[in-house]
Structure 1
Amino acid sequence: MVKVIASGVRKGNVIEHEDGKLYVVLKAESMHPGKGTPTTTIDMRRISDGVKTVVRYKTTDAMERAFVETIMHTYLYQDGDNYVFMNPTTFEQIPLTADMVGDFAPYLQEGMECQIAMFNDGPISIEIPQRITLEITDTEPAIKNQTASSSFKPAMLSNGVRTMVPPHVTSGTRIVVDTTDGSYVERAKD
């Protein structure tokens, strides 16, 4: 275990809470008001049973951070509510629950390389590539004389997620999408 201050905690870190149990950090936000004490709000999930909690700390409060091993895995397939990943060096397959995969589920593609954080030989969190390429299956046609500077239109992606794209983008176009929020980044270069 390593001591860190609350403002140094990041998404995916594993910390030991006051109750002695391990939690994986889902989101950490630091607030620095002009007047008053700066605070860090941490959304976290207990590893043992999946209970989620939100805790607020002073940014200088010390916490115990657990040592977690991050191993590259390849996504294979979905089996019911589980997502199966394989370690490319040992060929060991591990299932992750839908709750653990969370909002990343629609962006998983067969053969995608993902970082899985392991603690005591058990998976605790997953990180997928920040940008992936998807095809637009449906969008509205471009409107003439519409400026491209600030107007976006809705589009349906091949993975079933809706996003907003510039007016010049049409159905069948491959685009790069940010997996953290599903937003359009650019046209694919392939």
Structure 2
Amino acid sequence: MRRAHLPRKRAKRVLRGLPLPIGRQACLPAGRSSATSASFLKEFYLVQSLLSKTRMLNVTDLRANTIFIHSDGELYRVLKYEHIKMGRGSATIKVKVKALRSGAIKDISFVSGAKVEEADVTKKQYEFVYFDKRKSKAILSDPETKQRTEVEAEVIGEGNLKFLKTGVLLTVLASEDEEILSCEISIMAELKVAETAGSEKGDTAGSAKKPATLETGAVITVPMFIKTGDVIRVNTESGEYVERVT
């Protein structure tokens, strides 16, 4: 999945109104040779070609899970979309978004008619192998090629890491430059209870709860009837016990 690095990155700089690095502008300084001129022109037209393929989205077309590039250069995924009409004035588009790199959640408002760049991202599944505490990185494996990739703990998220075990599939979002932006895990995970206190006689009914350590090291609250060795289903978003599987 190797890509040409130069044109696309430079195209993005042009698109966002950023100057190209000194000596890389399309305008050729005086005194350049014809060969150099041809090289610069070829590169310039390639950049223009890439720019013409960039897809701009009207903010009214934003919907949940749409990924776009904001003017601050960050990639955001839309969580919630709201169209606000203010009397006779122009409408305002308000979206709740999640920054793919930092994980921060914020609200962004746009005037109706504004446009944003649709992010060029790829989605692929990887297997979780293990977490390297020394490097603070998760090791993922491509199910097809078996090639391993290191991912920063912050990208996966502490809340997700505590429910991951070897072999679990994650959905990875990667940028056009093959930078892994975010990892998503299933909302439900089946995990074995590694340790929990035994229940006293008469405590197996009602709303009584107790702590349990799962095979991944996560500690959650479970009903009193759950025993060590049981496999339970856990909601990975809330960290709550759902039901006993076996």
After TM superposition, is the score higher than 0.5? yes
Q: Deviations over 1:168-188 (max 9, x none)?
A: 323332211111121111111
Aligned letter for 2:187? Answer: Q
Question: Separation in 1 of the partners of 2:121 and 2:212?
Answer: 37
Unpaired runs of 5+ residues, structure 1, are: none
Contact 2:155 2:183 in 1 (8 A): yes
**By percentage of residues, which structure has more helix?**
2
* 1:178 to 2:209 alignment: no
Question: In the alignment, which residue of structure 2 is the partner of 1:97?
Answer: 152
The 3 A distance-change label for structure 1 pair 51 and 130 is closer
Q: Deviations over 1:100-148 (max 9, x none)?
A: 0112111111111111111122211111122222222114625627753
TM-score, normalization by structure 2: 0.60
Question: Separation in 1 of the partners of 2:201 and 2:93?
Answer: 48
Question: In the alignment, which residue of structure 2 is the partner of 1:130?
Answer: 187
Which structure's relative contact order is higher, taking Cα pairs within 8 Å and 6+ residues apart?
A: 1
Size of the alignment, in residue pairs? 179
Question: In the alignment, which residue of structure 1 is the partner of 2:37?
Answer: none
* 1:78 to 2:134 alignment: no
* 1:43 to 2:98 alignment: yes
The match for 2:106 among 45, 54, 57 is: 54
Contact 2:96 2:105 in 1 (8 A): no
The 3 A distance-change label for structure 1 pair 64 and 176 is same
C-alpha deviation, 1:162, in angstroms = 2.6
TM-score, normalization by structure 1: 0.75
**By percentage of residues, which structure has more strand?**
1
Unpaired runs of 5+ residues, structure 2, are: 1-54
CA RMSD of aligned residues (A): 3.4
Q: Deviations over 1:17-72 (max 9, x none)?
A: 023x13143x7345799x99784332324x4xx48462332697754331321111
The 3 A distance-change label for structure 1 pair 126 and 59 is farther
**Identity over aligned residues, as a percent?**
20
* 1:106 to 2:162 alignment: yes
